[in-house]
Amino acid sequence: MTVTEAALVLADGTVFEGEAIGAEAPGGVATGEVVFNTVWSGYQEVMTDPSYAGQIITFTYPHIGNYGVTAADDESRRPFCRGVIVRDLARRRSSWRADGDLDAMLRASGVPGIAGIDTRRLTRHIRDAGAMPGAFGTADVAQLTRAAIDEPGTDGVDLVAEVTCEQPYTVGSGPRRVVAYDFGIKRTILAHLSRIATVEVVPASTPAGEVLARDPDGVFLSNGPGDPGPVGYAREAIGALLGRVPVFGICLGHQLLSATLGAEIYKLPFGHHGGNHPVRNLAVGTVEITSQNHNYCVAEGAIDGATLTHINLNDQTVEGIRADDVRAFSVQYHPEAGPGPHDSRYLFDQFAELMDGAA
């Protein structure tokens, strides 16, 4: 098999050598913000999560692609990540569910990748220096270095506009009516929501008036990519919905709800990306192992009318809030867990109870 040499260069000048996989990067250069994810499985779900828009995903688990891919595991219409970095790409798939291999999926989706990278060294570097822009591909190191330095990263960029749906659509036939804002919504989330409601998914820029005109029992604020700062139109809509309809937010939706309630949002050094983050539920004292994918976080401190409900046991960061006066709650992690553990799926039932007036 022909091997095409490639390199990865971070914005601080650190260079890693490897081989090109997946789609060919335009001009031999792919750029984005380099982050790492610690999941052991679920690589397809990770790559098709729209929350990775603008980012290059480093998989810390060394062997990726061994069970192939299947369209049933896609979390969105296509991958929105800028690229993938792996230690060892499996050349032979082994699963009865597989209908293709990972390398072919990357090529078909137009996603470039690089293999043969010392991902342990790269992960340790990101942990020490923080997530940063990078560039990889078959271009020479000098060109990759310039591209890495010129890559703006995700700060101050409205990535939600790149991933949201263009037109409303309906999913499921549950007993309640939920309007879900698509900031980068995952299909596994829709599967859980459709168990409790008929879900009308609307574009991220939909005004509050249009949502209320649909007469929903509740409004869901989805996950999504990047910096919540530029998504001011969403905060405006949330502000007009609070107190008029129950609201439940996940990940970016949690940040947007918290910011609307007055919280400060800041960027973590290297984010939380993985399927094994311990979170304490402060109401009952239990610990949930959670799936997470975010670079931004709600700052600890008083939010008028809101109570802290969950904290991350790794770094004590805010993982959940509840505002009873306006019938709203949110969590930073992913209770739908696609991929990941199922400890937190009870939150969808709590949303149903909130809509029914029982919580």
pLDDT over 70 (residue 359): no
Q: What is the pLDDT of residues 266-277, one digit of tens each?
A: 999 999 999 999
The average pLDDT across 36-46 equals: 95
What is 259-298 written as a DSSP string?
A: HHTT--EEEEEEEEEEEEEEEEETTT--EEEEEEEEEEEE
The pLDDT of residue 302: 77
If we measure between CA atoms, which residue out of 115, 100, 112, 131 comes closest to residue 36? 131
pLDDT over 80 (residue 198): yes
Assigned fold of 5-150: Glucose Oxidase; domain 1 (3.50.30)
The pLDDT of residue 74: 96
The single-letter code of the amino acid at 12 is: D
CA gap 162, 347 in Å, rounded: 28
The average pLDDT across 210-223 equals: 98
The pLDDT of residue 303: 86
Q: Report how far apart, in Å, the C-alpha atoms of 250 and of each of 25, 186, 322, 337 are.
A: 33, 11, 12, 11
The average pLDDT across 218-237 equals: 97
CA gap 57, 203 in Å, rounded: 26
The average pLDDT across 263-267 equals: 96
Domain boundaries, the chain: 5-150, 160-355
Assigned fold of 160-355: Rossmann fold (3.40.50)
Tokens encoding 141: 């190191």
The contacts of residue 268 (CB under 8 Å, 6+ apart) are 294, 295, 296, 297, 317
Cβ atoms of residues 223 and 303 within 8 Å: no
pLDDT category, 304, cuts 50, 70, 90? confident
pLDDT over 60 (residue 39): yes
What is the enclosing helix (H) or strand (E) of 211? Answer: helix 208-213
The average pLDDT across 21-43 equals: 96
Active centre residues (catalytic): 251, 334, 336
The average pLDDT across 265-289 equals: 96
CA gap 228, 265 in Å, rounded: 8
Question: How many CB atoms sit inside 10 A of residue 175's CB?
Answer: 12
Output the CA angle 70-71-77, nearest 5 degrees: 145
Tokens encoding 128: 């020490």
On average, the pLDDT of the chain sits at: 96
Place of tokens 């409205």: 158
pLDDT category, 358, cuts 50, 70, 90? low
pLDDT over 60 (residue 278): yes
The average pLDDT across 222-241 equals: 97
CA gap 97, 196 in Å, rounded: 28
The pLDDT of residue 1: 60
CB-based burial, 290-302: b 16+ in 10 Å, e otherwise: bbbbbbbbbeeee
The pLDDT of residue 186: 97
Asked if the domains 5-150 and 160-355 are classified in one and the same CATH topology, the answer is no
Percentage of residues of the chain with pLDDT beyond 90: 95
Cβ atoms of residues 201 and 190 within 8 Å: yes
Say which range, 22-31, 46-55, 300-309, has the weakest mean pLDDT: 300-309
Tokens encoding 124: 């340790």
CA gap 213, 177 in Å, rounded: 12
pLDDT category, 77, cuts 50, 70, 90? very high
Q: What is the pLDDT of residues 112-150, one digit of tens each?
A: 999 999 999 999 999 999 999 999 999 999 999 999 999
Cβ atoms of residues 226 and 53 within 8 Å: yes
